[in-house]
Structure 1
């Protein structure tokens, strides 16, 4: 094996191990939250030493940042691909919610971390502030565009409706998590969101 091939192989192995750590951290953060999660537990789940984990992520905050970035990359790549293929913004949101229902670990992660991150000293506080602002602004802009085109009910306020839309998606995730182990029917998050969207958009 040439030196260059050895370097490429080492890089590929390192990248694969980094992805394993992100997946393990995603699961653990979703199970117990950021503060209760242990780097040693994450490294044990992946089968490497604690110093080995620190080689990839020197701090717990760096690992959290990687977890959140990975989640956004996966979600946004699919969401933007929907839009690029000519999909409607709100129809694409509904499809994203439907995909998330098939990944309950991701739903857990978001619910627990977003609640924890309301504390100003939480390392993800600024991240969630930016994320909420981005989603609110984009949803409001989409609603305003529809209003200008006559595709929004006249009595619908774009700013308030954008906030209600985000609050609905968050609330549906909480209901989904609480109901999935209760033995009864589980809320269909995508269908509930579609129903709300249908109420505010003009026929």
Structure 2
């Protein structure tokens, strides 16, 4: 087996171990030593593959995005709601994501490039989902491109609130409530696909 192939296999093993340790212990307690021990390495040996804890955690998030990926043509609003429900079942990973996201706004943070690139892709995907659901204008008049940052902000902002007070914030239900608002349903029902944006006053291009 070539050294490169062995190296990739070892990296994948470390990422799996990191996910397990994060799920079991949370973001702060997922030490490099604990992860290294799980794969039979010293901490120094693990640093051969990932030069820092931040680099390893970013790789974990990239791996998570690959697992969560859905072909662009198959994304639907109901799948977004299902993804929020799924995230509520893995608090360790969401804690890692949220902690690194908050830290990444500082200059030269190792996660800054990852999150910058990720948000470009996420906003594009959100716009595509909204256009497939509502057409060129949502019931309230916004274009999918203008609504996409709001959708993204709600998804990530809810994660922070849920992590801080899971007993008070029902993240999946709150996201479904937001979808109802997007669909023009002020009574808290299900989001309505389509919607006559042309007939609504105050529509803006």
TM-score normalised by L of structure 2? 0.70
Aligned mates of 2:109, 2:161 — CA distance in 1: 25
- Alpha-carbon shift at residue 138 of structure 1 (Å): 1.7
- Is 2:25–2:92's contact at 8 Å kept on the other side of the alignment? no
Distance 1:39 1:159 in 2: 40
Size of the alignment, in residue pairs? Answer: 181
Using CA pairs below 8 Å that are at least 6 residues apart, which structure has the higher relative contact order? 1
Matches within 5 A, 1:111-126: 111-126=98-113
Alpha-carbon distance in 1 for matches of 2:43, 2:132: 51
Q: CA shift at 1:135, angstroms?
A: 1.0
Q: Which residue of 2 aligns with 1:23?
A: 19
Name the residue aligned to 1:107. Answer: 94
Task: Tell me: CA distance 1:59–1:16, structure 2 relative to 1, closer, same or farther (3 Å).
Answer: closer
Give the Cα separation in 2 of the matches to 1:12 and 1:140.
34
Structure 2 vs 1, CA of residues 94 and 45 (structure 1 numbering), >3 Å: closer, same or farther?
A: same
Work out the CA distance in 2 between the residues paired with 1:170 and 1:127. 15
> 1:30 touches 1:108 (CA, 8 Å); kept in 2?
yes
What is the TM-score of this pair, normalised by structure 1?
0.71
Change in Cα spacing, 1:147 to 1:21, as seen in structure 2 (3 Å) is: closer
Indicate if the aligned counterparts of 2:14 and 2:36 stay in contact, CA closer than 8 A.
Answer: no
Structural RMSD (CA): 3.4
Change (3 A) 1:144 1:23: closer
Match of 1:94 in 2: 81
Deviation at 1:12, TM superposition (A): 11
Which contiguous aligned blocks of 4+ residues in structure 1 show a shift greater than 6 angstroms? 10-13
Structure 2 equivalent of residue 189 of structure 1:
171
Alignment correspondent of 1:59:
51
